[in-house]
Amino acid sequence: MVMSIHWFYYAAPQNFFRLSARLWPWCAGLAGVLAVIGLWLGLVVAPIDAQQGEGYRIIFVHVPASWMSMVVYLAMGFWSVLGLTFKTRLSGMMTQALAPTGAIFAALSLWTGALWGKPMWGTWWVWDARLTSELILFFLYVGFIALTSAIDDVKRAERAGALISIVGCINVPIIYFSVKWWNTLHQGASVSLTQSPSMARLMLWAMLLMALSFWAYTVAIVFYRVRSLILQRERESQWLKRWFDQAQAPKANGI
């Protein structure tokens, strides 16, 4: 039974192009719906926090953004391993497409962290362990994007990016723990950014919904980006030329 599954069916750009055309609008819609519900729960319904007042509500964006930045980095590592092992073109495109989204989430996490920090501790930045390791993650993303855009040859760029993202993935736990150690030794502030008081169920639900919404958004935007990359790189192939012709022709069966 397992052998009859064609594992690499969607590794062909043509098949993935068709799949992503159907999937991305639904994912975008799901992201929108979940975001509306999550934000309504978080901003309107959830109770005021005993210690932090209204300002804590930024966590409904901050925490899901941090989670997604880490998940996206792991996803990049996964596709890099796959791409280097099986030499599939699409894996490289997925890694390339994931990078900007991950970088944006990391930047958003840093920015919302600063926005949270100002009312809480009076400074725009604290060298908290998690914020600092998020900053280093942001640097890792920027490094990946810089490397892949500096190399002109597409294949070499993707494989170099794959290598650096795998090295980064291996190092991320080491970096995280070393920064955590660094922070606990120099600990000044007594309240950790993420050591929130026991969360009301409602707040947790709102955060989970926002995380799922960000996840759906990531899938939608990455699929869309991969479609753009396919259009760029496969423009000489027959199936894409036929698709263009069909798209020009009045209302053929939609691909």
Interhelix angle 154-185/59-86, nearest 10 degrees: 140
Q: How far is the CB of 136 from another protein (least distance, A)?
A: 5
Q: How far is the CB of 179 from another protein (least distance, A)?
A: 7
Residue 253 gets the label, from left (phi > 0), alpha (psi -120 to 50) or beta, of beta
Minimal CA–CA distance to 177: which of 114, 112, 132?
132
Among 5, 174, 188, 238, binds another protein (CB under 8 A): 174
Nearer to another protein, 34 or 106 (CB): 106
What are 49's strand-pairing partners? Answer: 53
Per-residue contact flags (x/-) with another protein for residues 59 to 78, judged by CB under 8 A: --------------------
Q: How far is the CB of 102 from another protein (least distance, A)?
A: 14
What are 238's strand-pairing partners? Answer: none
Nearer to another protein, 114 or 142 (CB): 142
Nearer to another protein, 88 or 213 (CB): 88
Burial class (CB in 10 A: 0-12, 13-18, 19+), 47: exposed
Three-state DSSP class for residue 53: strand
Per-residue contact flags (x/-) with another protein for residues 108 to 147, judged by CB under 8 A: ----------------------------x--xx-xx--xx
Nearer to another protein, 115 or 151 (CB): 151
Give dist(CA 101, CA 69) in Å, integer: 8
Give dist(CA 231, CA 244) in Å, integer: 10
Question: What residues numbered 152-171 form the site for another protein, per CB under 8 A?
Answer: 155-156, 159-160, 163-164, 166-168, 171
Minimal CA–CA distance to 93: which of 106, 79, 105?
79
**181 touches another protein by CB under 8 A:** yes
Residues in touch with another protein (CB under 8 A) = 136, 139-140, 142-143, 146-147, 150-151, 155-156, 159-160, 163-164, 166-168, 171, 174-175, 177-179, 181-182, 185
